[in-house]
Amino acid sequence: MKQPLLDMRGIIKSFSGVRALNGVSIQLDPGEALSICGENGSGKSTLMKVLSGVWPFGSYEGEIYFEGNLVKASSIRDTEALGIVIIHQELALVKEMTVLENIFLGNELGTFARLNDEEMHRRTAELLARVKLDILPDTPIRELGVGQQQLVEIAKALNKNVKLLILDEPTSSLTTTEIEILLNIVSELKQQGIACIYISHKLEEVLALSNWVTVIRDGDHIDTRSVENLTQNDIISMMVGRELDELFPREEHEIGDIVLKVKHATAKQAGASRAQVEDVSFELRQGEILGIAGLIGSGRTELMQCLYGSYDGNYEAEVELHGESLAIRSQRTALEAGIAMVPEDRKRHGIVPIMSVGRNITLSVLSQYSSWFGAINEDQESQDIDNYIAQLKVKTASSELSIKNLSGGNQQKAIIAKCLLTHPKILILDEPTRGIDVGAKYEIYKLMFALVKQGMSIIMVSSELSEVIGISDRVLVMHEGRLKGQFDHQGLTQEMIMNCAIKEDTTNV
């Protein structure tokens, strides 16, 4: 019997007791392509990290055979030496260096003292021709578009004698033409006998490119099927297949008048070709939980940043709060107007890790406790801290413990407490339950319903479809910076959202 090129058997990977991968097995022959599909956080990237050696041999259960030999990689260098190369979503090229320098970075030809420039030039030109890039080897990377950079990455991989090429969401930031070029090149590489693992949310590409499709859900290997007779709908139902269980404590609440109107929100990074948010308009009512769904990169977070004044590029939006127009230019104006936000990236934008839980909680409202020269009334401050820690059930040994010692769920509760202390009218929660255990999730949901009952309005961005459906009153779906669909939660299914978020052509808007 012929040996497959890659044979991963029963891979299990746990993080502090939680299984991120629960027995995933995949096989791949030379010249074939396998797509891996799954929701955000289903375990796709963990699987690729195991395969590429980021998680070294011994840190996971199961075996990986490559060309018949057991792989015992201790780092990504080892797997690259075998011919397994991964190209990440975020490109790893040095922007200030040329194409040639990047391709040979770390593998320079020649001796330590003298580089063999001619040979490197010749090889680079050859590689660029293979990926159909019509540029000079001396072009600096920063002058190339994202699509071209992706091709340079592939050329770099080819230079390393790649046998298995892993592409992680390669097309998420590319234009349609660029995608076409990329797909053509991958097909050609397949004909040259190179195997490919393709990770993408774009099911059309998945079906066009691959021989096999593997679906992972919550770390479980659902199925691997041949693309023959496989439809996008088949994949989607495999991806979301789970039942909605009693995880979501929905409580009835009154929904009132319109509180917030957003018109023509547009956000664009300086120098970017594509806007991250394009002409989005929506309304929010008092006491409403508005869910915002969409894939990563669809502009959900950026839209929220526009509302909170924290977007780092150029943005414009007509915002009306309680009928009065509002120009949100900074986080301070947002907070003063009554808009608070729990950011997506807790470590980067949420916590000050070395400061205590209590001091993190009061960071936004210090002036409330301060005298004219800034002396803090610590009595009053500790009272608020104690109240909110009790109210939100933040589990911490003491309010003076560094917040970095708390679990993710408790850090999140502390950040919500920080927002609530500003007494917001509108609370934005960006991925409020990411990386949080089930118990803390449940408490955060409970809290959300308690808040809307008091008349607060909540906007929740989430990648977890079950959560979006289970919690929201109304759901907006974004796709490539635009608002693509709007649904009432009643009768809404995960398939409907996925269809809207993934497929290029949807009519059920």
Partner 1 sequence: MFKTIKTSQLQLFAMLAAMLLIVVFFSFATDGAFVSPRNISNLIRQTAIVGVLAIGMVFVIISAEIDLSVGSMMGLLGGVAAILDVWFHFPIMLTVLITVAAGLVLGLFNGWWVAYQKVPSFIVTLAGMLAFRGILVGLTDGATVAPTSSSLAIVGQSYIPSGWGISVVSLLCLGLVAKVYARRKARQKHGVENQSAKFEYAKATIAVAVLMGLLFILESYRGIPTPILIMGGLILIATYVAKRTSFGRRIYAIGGNIEATRMSGVNVERTKMLVFGFNGMMVAVAALILTSRLGAGSPAAGNMAELDAIAACVIGGASLAGGVGAVFGAIMGALIMASLDNGMSMLDVPTFWQLIVKGMILLLAVWLDVKTKKSQ
Residue 332 binds to partner 1 (criterion: CB under 8 A): yes
Q: Compute the C-alpha angle 175/502/275, nearest 5°.
A: 40
Of 300-319, binders to partner 1 (CB under 8 A) are 308, 310
CA distance 8 to 252: 48
Residue 366 binds to partner 1 (criterion: CB under 8 A): yes
In angstroms, the Cα distances linking 161 to 125, 306, 494, 506 are: 16, 45, 42, 41
Applying CB under 8 A, the span of 12-20, 363-371, 449-457, 471-479 interacting with partner 1 comes to 363-371
User: Which of 270, 250, 298 shows the shortest CA–CA distance to 479?
Assistant: 298
Residue 383 binds to partner 1 (criterion: CB under 8 A): yes
Q: Compute the C-alpha angle 479/482/486, nearest 5°.
A: 80
Tokens of 210: 């691959």
DSSP conformation letters of 321-354:
ETTEEE---SHHHHHHHTEEEE-S-IIIII--TT
Q: Which is nearer to partner 1, 115 or 376 (CB)?
A: 376
Applying CB under 8 A, the span of 180-188, 203-211, 353-361, 455-463 interacting with partner 1 comes to 353-361
Residue 372 binds to partner 1 (criterion: CB under 8 A): no
Question: Which residue in 378, 437, 488, 504 binds partner 1 (CB under 8 A)?
Answer: 378
Residue 425 binds to partner 1 (criterion: CB under 8 A): no
Applying CB under 8 A, the span of 188-196, 222-230, 364-372, 438-446 interacting with partner 1 comes to 364-372
CB of 371: closest distance to partner 1 in angstroms? 9
Question: Which residue in 193, 353, 439, 455 binds partner 1 (CB under 8 A)?
Answer: 353
Question: Which residue in 376, 489, 493, 503 binds partner 1 (CB under 8 A)?
Answer: 376
Strand partners, 197: 34, 166
Residue 386 binds to partner 1 (criterion: CB under 8 A): yes
Question: Which residue in 109, 255, 352, 509 binds partner 1 (CB under 8 A)?
Answer: 352
Q: Which is nearer to partner 1, 151 or 351 (CB)?
A: 351
Question: Which residue in 106, 271, 374, 491 binds partner 1 (CB under 8 A)?
Answer: 374
CA distance 50 to 79: 10
CB of 271: closest distance to partner 1 in angstroms? 18
First to last CA, the chain: 51
Q: Which is nearer to partner 1, 84 or 304 (CB)?
A: 304
Residue 370 binds to partner 1 (criterion: CB under 8 A): yes
- For residue 119, the surrounding DSSP H or E stretch is helix 117-130
Binding mask of the shown chain, residues 252 to 281, with x at each position contacting partner 1 by CB under 8 A: ------------------------------
Q: Which is nearer to partner 1, 113 or 354 (CB)?
A: 354
Residue 405 binds to partner 1 (criterion: CB under 8 A): no
Q: Which is nearer to partner 1, 183 or 355 (CB)?
A: 355
The angle that helices 378-391 and 408-420 make with each other, rounded to 10 degrees, is 120
CA distance 369 to 375: 8
CB of 458: closest distance to partner 1 in angstroms? 18
Residue 291 · residue 264 · CB < 8 Å = no
Residue 418 binds to partner 1 (criterion: CB under 8 A): yes
Applying CB under 8 A, the span of 79-87, 228-236, 269-277, 336-344 interacting with partner 1 comes to 336-344
CA distance 197 to 48: 9
Strands (E), 190-306: 195-199, 212-217, 220-226, 258-268, 277-285, 289-294
CB of 327: closest distance to partner 1 in angstroms? 16
CB of 472: closest distance to partner 1 in angstroms? 24
Residue 37 · residue 235 · CB < 8 Å = yes
Question: Which residue in 130, 163, 322, 349 binds partner 1 (CB under 8 A)?
Answer: 349
Applying CB under 8 A, the span of 60-68, 201-209, 227-235, 394-402 interacting with partner 1 comes to 394-402
Q: Which is nearer to partner 1, 357 or 497 (CB)?
A: 357
Q: Which residues contact 215 (CB under 8 A, 6 or more apart)?
A: 36, 37, 38, 221, 222, 223, 224, 235, 238, 239
CA distance 458 to 446: 13
Q: Compute the C-alpha angle 409/412/416, nearest 5°.
A: 140
In angstroms, the Cα distances linking 350 to 197, 344, 365 are: 35, 8, 15
Backbone dihedral angles phi then psi of residue 435, each to the nearest 5 degrees: 65, 30
| Total site size for partner 1, rule CB under 8 A | 39
Residue 399 binds to partner 1 (criterion: CB under 8 A): yes
Binding residues for partner 1 (CB under 8 A): 308, 310, 331-332, 334-336, 341, 343, 348-355, 359, 363-364, 366-367, 369-370, 373-376, 378-379, 382-383, 386, 397-400, 418, 422
